[in-house]
Amino acid sequence: MESYILEIKNLSCFFGGVKAIDNVDFSVKSNELRCIIGPNGAGKSTLFKIILGTVKPKSGSVLFYGKDIKKNPTYKRVRSGIGVKFQNISIYNDLTVEHNIRVSLPDYINQNDIKSEGQKILNRLGLQVKLSDRAGSLSHGHKQWLSIGMALAMEPKLLLLDEPTAGMGSEETILTAELVKSLNSEGVTILVIEHDMAFVRELKAPITVLHLGKILAEGTLKDIEKNSNVRNAYLGNN
């Protein structure tokens, strides 16, 4: 039997009459790197929010390492190993890079080691910024990376990345893909939501396509590109 880090069973979530997630079954293996794509309003971000616990589903269950985490509040889910980088760059703009990383590090890190731990994370990201810089003064791409770094600081087992390359140039996009791949090779299971097909192509990872709250297709990039349902979903029937 294969070990799943994340299993989603019969998950449904409605916003008023809109079915954001409609009876979805979905599972992720340990050490997997998976992309989730889909047109706007497909339910991708809602799926992440349900996994993280900030949105409550109407029915269904989310299993992390085989345990139902429905009753766990967000902070407990994060502490148990789910790291997240939101869609909007959510760093603390008015605080220093050091402060940003500092609040991301787990509590057991000694106060005196904070600077060196922070520097380690910057090095791991290949981020050439100073710890004393104000986070708001970083470039757009660097903010995105810092935001990934903050999710990484907690050493998550499962990393959820919601549009990590939004607003990035092509060079930065390729570098981000390299970063994601290298994190994955270090043993972090990663789920990526992305619109940028160049980035998805670069990741060379299996893809799940969501449309109107349902899973439309799963497979490699080639399979997905050939799939007529996916083409219709993106481009319309005509």
Question: Given the rule CB under 8 A, which residues bind another protein?
Answer: 52, 54, 73-75, 78-79, 84, 86, 90-96, 99, 102-104, 106-107, 111-112, 150, 154
Of 142 and 211, which CB lies nearer to another protein in the complex structure?
A: 142
Give 75 or 238: the residue with its C-beta nearer to another protein.
Answer: 75
CB of 144 to another protein, least distance (A): 14
Give me the least distance between CB of 136 and another protein, in Å please: 11
Min separation Cβ 79 and another protein, Å: 5
| Distance in Å, CB of 3 to another protein, minimum | 24
Distance CA 146, CA 152 (A): 9
**Smallest separation, CB 149 to another protein (Å):** 12
Whose Cβ is closer to another protein: residue 74's or residue 220's? 74
Nearest distance, CB of residue 39 and another protein, angstroms: 25
* Cβ within 8 Å of residue 150, ≥6 positions away: 85, 91, 100, 101, 104
Q: Pick between residue 149 and residue 213 the one whose CB is nearest to another protein.
A: 149
Pick the closer one to another protein by CB: 23 or 54.
54
3-class secondary structure for the chain? CCCEEEEEEEEEEEECCEEEEEEEEEEEECCCEEEEECCCCCCHHHHHHHHHCCCCCCEEEEEECCEECCCCCHHHHHHCCEEEECCCCCCCCCCEHHHHHHCCCCCCCCHHHHHHHHHHHHHHHCCCCCCCCEHHHCCHHHHHHHHHHHHHHCCCCEEEEECCCCCCCHHHHHHHHHHHHHHHHCCCEEEEECCCHHHHHHHCCCEEEEECCEEEEEECHHHHHHCHHHHHHHHCCC
Q: Choose between 101 and 230: whose C-beta lies nearer to another protein.
A: 101
Nearer Cβ to another protein (141/149): 149
Shortest distance, position 93 Cβ to another protein, whole Å:
8
